[in-house]
Chain A
Amino acid sequence: MAEDKKKTTIIPIGPYHPLQEEPEFFELHVEGEKVVKLDINIGYNHRGIEKLSESMHFDQVPFLVERICGICSTSHPFAYVNAVEDLAGIEIPDRAKYIRSIIGELERLHSHLLWLGLAGHFLGYNTVWMWVWKVREPVLELFEKITGNRNHYAMFKIGGVRRDIPNDEINAIMKTCDEIAKFLEMLYKVVMDDPVLVARTKGVGILTKEEAIEWGVVGPTARASGVDIDVRRDDPYAAYDMVEWKVIVTQNGDVFDKVVVRILECFESIKIIKGCLKGLEKTKEGNIETVVKNIPPGEGIGRHEAPRGEVFHYVRSDGTNRPIRHKIRAPSYMNVPSNQVAAIKGTISDAALVLAAVDPCYCCTERCAIVDLKTNQSRIISGDELVRMCQEKTKKIIEEMGIKNE
């Protein structure tokens, strides 16, 4: 391997755009069309949040960790308040539990819809992309109505939530959920029936159950490989053990299964939201927090099942008003390394799809270096080119199947 390194030089082209696209650097080592090795370089977006957290008092930290990610912005505050409540042994009112779960599940809905749209784009189905994002919009509008923001909701605090959902807003949320469910049913049928989509994603980028366990992957990436884990059910928090729902598990571990898991999870999210809304009707308006004055010395672990999988927070307190250690582990930290086995079984044209299938907060494929091991030449190709290759393969399948597509 050392010899290969000597012969190849990899130079990333263009400036990084940490605000718009998440900079991760994948090095694909290929033989002809086949990917034989994958190197992942990260850290371009490292902001030292764990260290920053040590300089803030406990009540400020939710705002900080909310900014770790824009898409799953509520997942980190969720796990953090769970950790501090575990540390201090705080019980929160039922109404706050329901509201927490509603926010968490609405976030899963919009995150999964975002991914489904992008999956459509990667496959060359730009209609699906636009279509799905159109349906995502009402979810964001709902967020604006409930929290005041389309993103970064600032709803979580230690001991409860910051804002109530008034009971007269319940009907509007129910209605939006019904509309999304109707669309999802159609989308699910489309995915299952479309021969091209099935041919393009079935058997691509397989992560076996053994590999999934070995790499410790979480969330839909694990569940699509037959690993039956979900923090919401296994270690219940908020209102997840107070409403009816089930965990979606499929067995094949390919891209197709990851699509199916995510679509079916959206239905479960809607079920949870509706259950929680019914719960809200039963509890008293305004009773949304337990007042917390001091955080005692000790340590606590909090988890939340984010759209991409388990978020893990560990907080240690020495009795002052700031954490002395705050460890944060996001789900992609476990899922992205598994590409080292999932992506090397396919071709370059599958790579964009496989890398995107773990939902690594997207755009991580934007800057790729392709190293041809036979000629030992390296060339840098952009994410756009990878997506184009991916789309062309879909077109080829369409032609081979003799389907006329407008």
Chain B
Amino acid sequence: MTIEELKQRLGEKIIGVYEKNKQRYYIDIHPKDILECARIMFKEFGARLATATGIDTPKGFEILYHFSYDKNGKIFTLRVLIEDKKNPEIDSITLVTKAAEWIEREIYEMLGIKFKNHPNLKRLLLSDDFPKDIYPLRQG
């Protein structure tokens, strides 16, 4: 998979592409397209979900889905920005790849982002008596 093939396949779903270097690409997409884009990455191109990173930024919550394409060692990161900070939610991609199950649970408890249709959305690392409305990785 090259960035050209990916651009062609994802087409208008791409908001922007940032080429950090020949091995690292960051592709901005809209949160509503994540399920379809993840399916294309995993099922069609055969890229492995290495992990996802959730970040609290002033503009909203960013989630970066790092897909590793192991045949050429490139990492294609799909980046979504969830602007609704009060009630953040996005489609779960666990139904596309099981590799997302734990990391989505972790982002859920650390940043308070709800993953719609996740089969088992409960806490992963935090203990059950940790306060319900405190999210450790939220800023300020």
Name A's B-contacting residues (CB within 8 A): 42-43, 46, 48, 50-51, 86, 89, 213-216, 228-229, 231, 234-236, 298-301, 303, 310, 312, 314, 316, 325, 327, 329, 333-334, 337
Closest CB in chain A relative to B17 CB, distance in Å:
14
Contacts of A228 in B (CB 8 A): 70
**A216-B99, A337-B98 known; A329 and B51 CB under 8 Å?**
yes
Interface string of B57-76 (1 = CB under 8 A from A): 00000001010101111110
Known: A51-B137, A300-B20, A337-B102. A216 touches B66 (CB 8 A): no
Contact status A215-B125, CB under 8 Å: no
State the CA gap A337–B106 with chains docked (Å). 14
Determine whether the beta carbon of A327 is less than 8 Å from that of B48. no
Shortest Cβ gap from A274 to chain B (Å): 25
Q: Closest approach, in angstroms, between the C-beta of A239 and any C-beta of chain B?
A: 16
Type the 1/0 row for B109-140, where 1 means its CB is closer than 8 Å to any CB of A: 00000000000000111110000000011000
Also in contact, A325 and B55, with CB within 8 A (given A48-B136, A86-B21): yes
Query: Is B2 part of the contact surface with A, judged by Cβ < 8 Å?
Result: no
Residues of B within 8 A of A (CB): 20-21, 23-24, 26, 46, 48-51, 53, 55, 64, 66, 68, 70-75, 77, 97-99, 101-103, 123-127, 136-137
Q: Which of A235, A316, A329, A333 contacts B73 (CB 8 A)?
A: A235
Q: Is A216 a contact partner of B55 (Cβ separation < 8 A)?
A: no
A234 touches B51 (CB 8 A): no
- Cβ distance A339 to chain B, nearest Cβ, rounded Å: 12
Q: For A50, give the chain B residue with the smallest CB separation.
A: B137
Query: Is B70 touching A312 in the complex (CB atoms < 8 A)?
Result: no
Is the Cβ of A229 less than 8 Å from the Cβ of B48? yes
Q: Which secondary structure dominates where chain A touches chain B?
A: mixed
A334–B102 Cα distance when bound, in Å, is 8
**Cα–Cα, bound, A310→B68 (Å):** 11
**Chain A residues near B77 (CB-CB < 8 A):** 301
Bound state CA distance, A37 and B77, in angstroms?
34
Interface CB pairs A-B, < 8 A, 6? A46-B126, A216-B50, A216-B98, A229-B48, A234-B73, A312-B51
Give which listed residue, A236, A299, A303, contacts B20 with CB less than 8 A.
Answer: A299
By a CB distance below 8 angstroms, the chain A residues around B136 are 48, 51
* B24 partner, pick from A86, A214, A215, beta carbons under 8 A: A86
Contact between chains at A86 and B137 (CB < 8 Å): no
Determine whether the beta carbon of A236 is less than 8 Å from that of B73.
yes
In the A-B complex, the 5 residue pairs with the closest CB atoms:
A216-B99, A235-B73, A43-B125, A234-B73, A327-B53
A214 CA to B48 CA in the complex, in Å? 9
Name the distance in Å between A127's Cβ and chain B's nearest Cβ: 38
- Determine the chain B residues whose CB is within 8 A of the CB of A46 once the complex forms: 125-126
Docked Cα-Cα span, A231 to B69, in Å, equals: 11
**New A-B pairs, 9, CB < 8 Å, besides A215-B98, A303-B68, A337-B101:** A43-B124, A43-B126, A86-B24, A214-B98, A214-B99, A234-B71, A303-B50, A316-B55, A325-B55
CB distance from B100 to the nearest CB of A (A): 8
Structural contact, A325 and B53, CB atoms closer than 8 A: yes
What residues of B have a CB within 8 angstroms of the CB of A303 in the complex? 50, 68
**Contacting pair B51 A299 (CB below 8 A):** no
| Whole-angstrom CA separation of A229 from B99 in the bound complex | 16
Q: Shortest Cβ distance from A4 into chain B, in angstroms?
A: 15
A325 CA / B46 CA spacing, docked (Å): 28
Tell whether, in the assembled complex, residue A312 and residue B50 are in contact, meaning their CB atoms are under 8 Å apart. yes
A44: nearest residue on chain B (CB-CB)? Answer: B127
With contacts A46-B126, A89-B21 known, is A216 near B48, CB below 8 A?
yes
Query: Please, which residue of chain B has its CB at the minimum distance from the CB of A338?
Result: B98
Question: A314 — which chain B residues lie within 8 A by C-beta?
Answer: 51, 53, 64, 66
